[in-house]
Amino acid sequence: MKNKIKVQNLENQFEPYSSRKVFLSAKNAGANKKLAQKITQKIDKWVYPDIKTEKIFEEIKSLLREKDYKSSLKFDLKKAMKRLGPTGFPFEKYVNSIFKKQGLKTQINIHIKGKCCTHEIDFLAEKEKTVYVGECKFRNQFESSVDINTALINHARFLDVKQNNYLKKFSKVKSILVTNGKFTSKAIRYSNCVKEELLGWKYPKKNGLEKIIEDNNLYPITILPSLSGKMVQIFIQKQKMLAQDVFVLNIKKFSRDNKIKIKELEKVKKEAEILLKK
């Protein structure tokens, strides 16, 4: 029985194989019900004891690529987030781009003097009379969560920064902690208690980071498979953090200025068109 097969998850723990998880993974990436069911049936026959879930994900992606290339691109969102690493700075730029696209006025990597000392703030995001003091926590490993200690430090920093004269002009000053990973239950409980907003993978439950990305087509530039490591660094340096940023490029000029072959850029643009077309 397949439901008795144990698989090794991203946290290196063993859990029962789940056909439903396979189905939902394919469906959530954009596959229609019929295709998701076919993929599930194939995985059910193919899966074996002690396999890593990462291998299962790779097989799902491969099967998606054969029938629905757009969904196979979307399926790679977690890995695309990881490609923003290994440092946290590109992730900060990416988060900044997300807030900008949602109509907020943003500043990134600024120093703000608090009552007790000066703090480096990852970003400020303003809308009308509300300002968000943002802290980003990038995780190279998806299973690595943001814990209560991080939430405690962030809130202490926020309380000091809140005394800044510039921030006092806003009716509301809020703290937000953003991660590409997950939050521990203690971090969530504490943050809710002190009214600190959290944004991470599948949190808040109905409006997590992945949902905001998918609903608004705010996919990171790193989701495009033809983008080499060198090209990723160039796009990040040029503040081109979103897949949709490819459409505003003057390809010939960008090619010449950055010594990238036009054919490579055209291939990247084609992938962006497939990913983002309606």
Do the domain assignments include residue 268? yes
Do the domain assignments include residue 194? yes
Helix, coil or strand: residue 34: helix
Give whole-number Cα distances, 78 to 52, 81, 168, 220, in Å: 16, 5, 38, 10
Q: Report yes or no: 202 and 180 within 8 Å, Cβ to Cβ.
A: no
Residues 99 and 190 in one domain: yes
Do the domain assignments include residue 75? no
Q: Which domain holds residue 11?
A: 2-67
Do the domain assignments include residue 72? no
Give the Cβ contact number of residue 168 at 10 Å.
9
Residues 146 and 186 in one domain: yes
Task: Read off the DSSP letter of residue 47.
Answer: -
Do the domain assignments include residue 76? no
Residues 94 and 48 in one domain: no
Residues 160 and 234 in one domain: no
Do the domain assignments include residue 172? yes
259: nearest Cα among 223, 241, 233: 233
Do the domain assignments include residue 14? yes
Residues 89 and 208 in one domain: yes
77: nearest Cα among 203, 249, 212: 212
Q: What is the pLDDT along the chain (278 residues), one digit of tens a residue?
A: 556 899 998 778 899 999 999 999 999 999 999 999 999 999 999 999 999 999 999 999 999 999 999 999 999 999 999 999 889 999 999 999 999 999 999 999 999 999 999 999 999 999 999 999 999 999 987 678 999 999 999 999 999 999 999 899 999 999 999 999 999 999 999 999 999 999 999 999 989 999 999 999 999 999 999 999 999 999 999 999 999 999 999 999 999 999 999 999 999 999 999 999 85
Residues 174 and 231 in one domain: no
3-state helix/strand/coil string of 54-116: HHHHHHHHHHHHHHCHHHHHHCCHHHHHHCCCCCCHHHHHHHHHHHHHCCCEEEEEEEEECCC
Residues 90 and 202 in one domain: yes
Residues 125 and 198 in one domain: yes
Residues 20 and 63 in one domain: yes
Residues 41 and 115 in one domain: no
How many domains is the chain built from? Answer: 3
Q: What's the pTM?
A: 0.90
Residues 49 and 129 in one domain: no
Do the domain assignments include residue 77? no
Residues 60 and 92 in one domain: no
3-state helix/strand/coil string of 116-164: CCEEEEEEEEEECCEEEEEEEECCCCCCCCECHHHHHHHHHHHHHHCCC
Phi and psi torsions of 46, nearest 5°: -90, -30
Residue 147 sits in a domain of what CATH number? 3.40.1350.10
